[in-house]
Amino acid sequence: VTNRTFTMLKPDAVEAGHIGAILEKINGAGFRIVSMEMTQLSRKDAQKFYEVHSERPFYGELVDYMSSGPIVAAILEKDNAVADFRTLIGATNPAEAAEGTIRKLYATSIAANAIHGSDSDENAEIEGSFFFAKRAQY
Ligand code: CMP
């Protein structure tokens, strides 16, 4: 079934000039861009977005990093979107990411790992609404 996922190109990927290359891979893999925005998260935004990780030891580092520079947020649509997108981006730790995946190509570390992909349909909806609830979805 056609469904949606949510992604962010993280500050490391934006800063390194990889927006174009990554969007090309996303479109090339058959995802349709439904909504997209370049923005910068405040610390408060990042704390809220990653609230599920608030008890993790890396939470502070994650919040600092994700609010450190501009990101690109987008809602994507495709058959089997959540699972297929996670295959396209590769493992969280770029050292473990498969050849050809976005993280293998562009991530620098487990924290600065280039790109986010929702882990479930439910989280895709929650995360997409965080950015785009009141915005156009094409
Ligand atoms: P993502 O899966 O997009 O969302 C949670 C993020 O936490 C994850 O990407 C990583 O960037 C980050 N993360 C996970 N584990 C670690 C870790 N051990 N140290 C730092 N950051 C981490």
Q: How far is the CA of 77 from the centre of ligand 1 (A)?
A: 24
Closest C-alpha residue for ligand 1 atom 13 = 111
Residue 96 DSSP code: G
Contacts of 39 (CB under 8 A, 6+ apart): 70, 71, 73, 131
Q: Residues 45, 123, 11, CA angle at the centre, nearest 5°?
A: 45
Q: Is 58 annotated as a binding residue?
A: yes
pLDDT of residue 2: 81
Ligand 1 contacts CB of residue 116 (under 6 A) = yes
Token digits for 60? Answer: 């502070």
pLDDT of residue 9: 98
pLDDT of residue 1: 81
Q: Which of 8, 12, 58, 103 to mutate to test the pocket of ligand 1 (most atoms within 8 A of CB)?
A: 58
53 carries an active-site annotation = no
The fold adopted by the segment(s) 2-132 is Alpha-Beta Plaits (3.30.70)
Distance CA 124, CA 119 (A): 7
Contact 74, 33 (CB under 8 A): yes
Distance CA 28, CA 22 (A): 10
- Torsion angle in degrees (nearest 10) through CA of 111, 120, 81, 8: -30
**Rg (alpha carbons) of the chain, rounded to whole number:** 14
Q: How far is the CA of 122 from the centre of ligand 1 (A)?
A: 19
pTM reported for the whole predicted model: 0.95
Distance CA 122, CA 127 (A): 9
Q: How far is the CA of 22 from the centre of ligand 1 (A)?
A: 19
Mean pLDDT, the chain cut into blocks of 10 residues (138 residues total): 94 98 98 98 98 97 98 98 98 97 97 97 97 90
The upper half-sphere exposure of residue 59, i.e. CA atoms within 13 Å in the direction of its Cβ, equals 12
